[in-house]
Amino acid sequence: MHKQRLLDLADHLEFGKLGHDKFDFSIWSRRANLENSCGTAGCALGECPFLFPNDWKFHNGIANTRRPSYKNNPGALSSAVEFFDITFTEASHLFLPMEQQTWLYGKKLLFDASRKEVADNIRDFVNAKSTPYKALKIFIKTKLNDLIEALS
């Protein structure tokens, strides 16, 4: 795991000037619609070409979307796997709505998650991965709480 890259992204999301006009966890990157001038929107991976311009680029997607990618990797999520040195499941946890591994790393993020919530999720993930057995403790605690609730 490239811990510092993930923490830099979390700090950028929470405190930095975004490259998009609006943070939107549900889309990689959307260009302004010329008819209604709605501005640009993007998620955490959609910010990578702004934060890491020597490594990430945008490629045209369908309609008004752009796909962020690392080097010449064709997929945004597989680019995250390669750039941050994480698994596909971990990348899904960090960068896709409703794909969080709550039993390992924390809470569920919905499509309307704020930039701060996504940044906090990244930091929680880094902390859990950096602390031996922390993820296992969270898993056991969650399962025990589920069991107690089921027995009540």
Q: What is the pLDDT of residues 16-74, one digit of tens each?
A: 888 888 887 777 666 654 444 455 677 888 889 889 999 988 877 665 667 788 888 87
Q: Please give the DSSP secondary-structure letter assigned to residue 1.
A: -
Which stretches of 47-148 are assigned E, i.e. beta strand? 56-60, 66-70
CA dist., res. 118 & res. 111, Å (int): 11
pLDDT of 113 above 70:
yes
Residue 107: pLDDT band (50, 70, 90) is confident
**Whole-number pLDDT of residue 2:** 95
Bigger pLDDT: 115 vs 100: 115
CA dist., res. 35 & res. 144, Å (int): 53
Report how far apart, in Å, the C-alpha atoms of 44 and of each of 3, 36, 72, 114 are: 16, 24, 19, 10
User: How confident is the model over 77-99, as a mean pLDDT?
Assistant: 91
**Whole-number pLDDT of residue 12:** 94
67 forms bridges with which residues in the sheet? Answer: 59
